[in-house]
């Protein structure tokens, strides 16, 4: 073999050897990267969730079955969660905050109570239903209308209200129940939304008249529909979903979608700052917004408004026209919360004490 051929053979052998080493190195790097990704995605331990209802147990059990993470949960209204977390010096009672009016989540972000949560797929959530920096997300919308006890209306010879303006009529004195907007995101949505649509001056005049017809303000958003169905009052200002619709089959009640429009409130979900199990909390948020889990949530909630939050979601169809929803600037829900509630408490006086 000539010197030239021997030289070419040596060069080719060297190149082949380098190629094999490089391939082996790339393979090892890919495996190492995959192992690192799996390690980062691995979650364990117990996840503590503060939620508005025990009805979400099915959803939490599904998360446990799929991830192995045990879930413990505590039921509490959004206003209570916010005030308690602030009172305890930003020491959260849980890892995930699940449900409740978005106004409380907005204020919590401003006060540094939430953890930023970026995840793949968050870009599919409509911009108006998530924080621009991913500190909170909406899991659906709560819409608000009326429930009436038809037996009481008949007994007292009262017509059912059709509009928000009807509720200010003196004939309904002591016959209307509303939950305290300081603790109920549902009814804070009513106050803020109607103030936006009526204007501050006319809006507060309206609530002063409405206040005369309300004997007291209950603690939770579900109290007005339950107490109205039980016959304690004739009319309840309540969220409207399938659970309320079912009351028509059990009691002599009617559900009314106000002709002059419906206030609405995004239901929030977020990770608490200083959570004891942040990895599992962030995994839960990511998991929640997968299509199959959102559909399960819609079934449990009895709401199809999650379709507005994630328009690409298939298998859920919106049953109410968006035209029925009042026009609202959500930024004002958090921005004006303290000022509105301070004025509300002065107006409502002792009736703002929950019973």
Residue with the bigger pLDDT between 220 and 286: it is 286
Joined together, the tokens standing for residue 253 give: 């009640």
pLDDT of residue 3: 47
**Mean pLDDT (the chain, rounded):** 86
Q: How far apart are CA 57 and CA 68, in angstroms?
A: 15
Tokens for 150, please give them: 């038809």
DSSP reduced 3-state for 270 = strand
Q: Which helix (H) or strand (E) holds 267?
A: strand 264-272
- Does position 90 have pLDDT exceeding 90, yes or no? no
Confidence of residue 352 (pLDDT cuts 50, 70, 90): low
Could you tell me if 268 and 78 are in contact, meaning their C-beta atoms sit under 8 angstroms apart?
Answer: yes
Residue 194 has pLDDT above 80, yes or no: yes
pLDDT at 330: 87
Coil, strand or helix at 136:
coil
What number of other Cβ atoms are within 10 A of residue 6's Cβ? 10
pLDDT by residue (tens digit) across 313-348? 999 988 888 889 999 998 888 888 889 999 999 998
Classify residue 262 by its DSSP letter: B
Of 12-21, 226-235, 262-271, the poorest mean pLDDT is in 12-21
Structure-block tokens of residue 273? 């700052």
Q: Which residues contact 56 (CB under 8 A, 6 or more apart)?
A: 49, 73, 98, 99, 300
Instruction: Please give the residue that has the higher pLDDT: either 38 or 229.
Output: 229
Q: What is the pLDDT of residues 241-256, one digit of tens each?
A: 877 878 887 888 999 9
Between 52 and 243, the more confident residue is 52
3-state secondary structure of 286: helix
How does pLDDT run across 261-302, given as a tens digit for each residue? Answer: 999 999 999 999 999 999 999 999 999 999 999 999 999 988
**Length of the chain in residues, anyone?**
355
Q: Counting beta carbons within 10 angstroms of the beta carbon of residue 214, is it exposed (0 to 12), middle (13 to 18) or buried (19 or more)?
A: buried
Q: What is the pLDDT of residue 130?
A: 95
Q: Is the pLDDT of residue 74 over 80?
A: yes
Asked if 115 and 135 touch (Cβ cutoff 8 Å), the reply is yes
Query: Does 178 have pLDDT greater than 60?
Result: yes
Buried b / exposed e along 328-352 (16+ C-beta atoms within 10 A)? bebebbbbbbeebbebbeeebeebb
Report the pLDDT value the prediction gives residue 38, as an integer from 0 to 100: 36
């Amino acid at each position: 073999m000539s010197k030239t051929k021997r030289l070419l053979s040596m060069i080719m052998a060297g190149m082949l050897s380098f190629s094999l080493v490089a391939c082996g190195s790339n393979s090892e790097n890919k495996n190492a990267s995959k192992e690192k990704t799996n390690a980062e995605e691995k979650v364990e331990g117990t996840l503590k969730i503060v939620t508005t209802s025990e009805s979400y147990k099915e959803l939490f059990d599904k998360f446990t079955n799929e991830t192995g993470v045990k879930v413990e949960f505590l039921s509490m209204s959004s206003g209570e969660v916010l005030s308690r977390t602030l009172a305890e010096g930003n020491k959260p009672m849980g890892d995930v905050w699940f449900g409740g009016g978005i106004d409380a989540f907005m204020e919590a972000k401003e006060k540094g109570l939430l953890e930023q949560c970026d995840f793949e797929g968050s870009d599919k959530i409509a911009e108006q239903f998530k924080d621009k920096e991913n500190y909170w997300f909406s899991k659906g919308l709560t819409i608000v209308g009326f429930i009436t006890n038809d037996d009481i209306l008949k007994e007292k010879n009262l017509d059912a209200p059709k509009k928000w303006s009807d509720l200010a009529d003196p004939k309904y004195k002591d016959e209307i129940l509303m939950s305290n907007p300081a603790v109920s995101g549902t009814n804070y949505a009513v106050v803020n939304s109607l103030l936006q649509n009526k204007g501050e001056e006319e809006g507060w005049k309206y609530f002063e008249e409405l206040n005369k017809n309300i004997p007291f303000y209950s603690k939770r958003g579900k109290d007005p529909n339950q107490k109205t169905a039980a016959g304690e009052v004739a009319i309840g200002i309540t969220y409207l979903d399938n659970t309320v619709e079912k009351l028509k089959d059990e009691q002599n009640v009617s559900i009314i979608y106000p002709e002059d429009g419906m206030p609405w409130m995004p239901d929030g979900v977020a990770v608490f700052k200083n959570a004891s199990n942040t990895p599992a909390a962030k995994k839960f948020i990511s998991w929640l917004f997968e299509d199959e889990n959102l559909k399960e949530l819609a079934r449990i909630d009895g709401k199809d408004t999650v379709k507005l939050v994630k328009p690409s979601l298939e298998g859920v169809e919106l049953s109410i026209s968006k035209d029925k929803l009042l026009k609202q600037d959500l930024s004002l829900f958090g921005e004006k919360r303290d000022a509105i509630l301070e004025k509300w408490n002065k107006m409502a006086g002792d009736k703002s004490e929950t019973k």
